[in-house]
A and B are shown apart, each in its own frame.
Chain A
Amino acid sequence: SQQGEEDPQALSIQEGENATMNCSYKTSINNLQWYRQNSGRGLVHLILIRSNEREKHSGRLRVTLDTSKKSSSLLITASRAADTASYFCGPTGTASKLTFGTGTRLQVTL
């Protein structure tokens, strides 16, 4: 299965702290994407990292990819209350569809 599995299921931190969530997958991939979902809303694309990249940055986001371990991590630095959301990873390979796990629910408190 090309589905990503996010870990931990839930994460609670205080504003200003860093948040790290992980993604594991089982098959070869072309790229891996991270999405955010605010409560009751659709998913929003955050960042895409290709299989030949090891690290990528976008603002306060840092994504790493280790294809040998079939894992990725998403780091959100200096978190804000507005970062409270669920985060999903989507490994993409030869399959025609993007499938998601149950996500990591991040709660950032003031």
Chain B
Amino acid sequence: NAGVMQNPRHLVRRRGQEARLRCSPMKGHSHVYWYRQLPEEGLKFMVYLQKENIIDESGMPKERFSAEFPKEGPSILRIQQVVRGDSAAYFCASSRSRDTGELFFGEGSRLTVL
């Protein structure tokens, strides 16, 4: 049973370009969470999605960031017009249900903005 798969593992973008990060949850998991981590810091919650629905996006910047989790296919975190401050590791996690607690994390996507 494959774990949470994130791709790309590393992404380099120039300022103003778009970044798309993909996350395939574990089989049977319909809950997806995105986190951002700056060097030497903890994980900051961004957004929680369930299939086709955004449940909690309280951690998402108001502009340039969006997330989706379509009925078919991976969850996508999209960052438009990237700036240097967007450089970070972005982690995706999934769970079977909201109440089980345990999250399974992917290995992260490291975005570098030049």
Contacts and interface: CB of A to CB of B under 8 A. Distances in A.
Nearest to B56: A96
A61 to B, nearest CB: 15
Nearest to B91: A42
Interface residues of A, number: 23
Interface stretch (A16-24, A43-51, A63-71, A72-80): A43-51
Contacts of A103: 42
Contact of A97 (B48, B99, B102): B48
B104 A96 contact: no
A92 B41 contact: no
Size band of the interface chain B makes with A = 20 to 34
A98 interface: yes
A97 B35 CA distance: 11
Interface of A: 30-31, 33, 35, 40-45, 48, 88, 90, 92, 95-103
Nearest 9 interchain pairs by C-beta? A42-B105, A102-B42, A43-B105, A96-B56, A42-B107, A100-B42, A100-B43, A99-B45, A97-B45
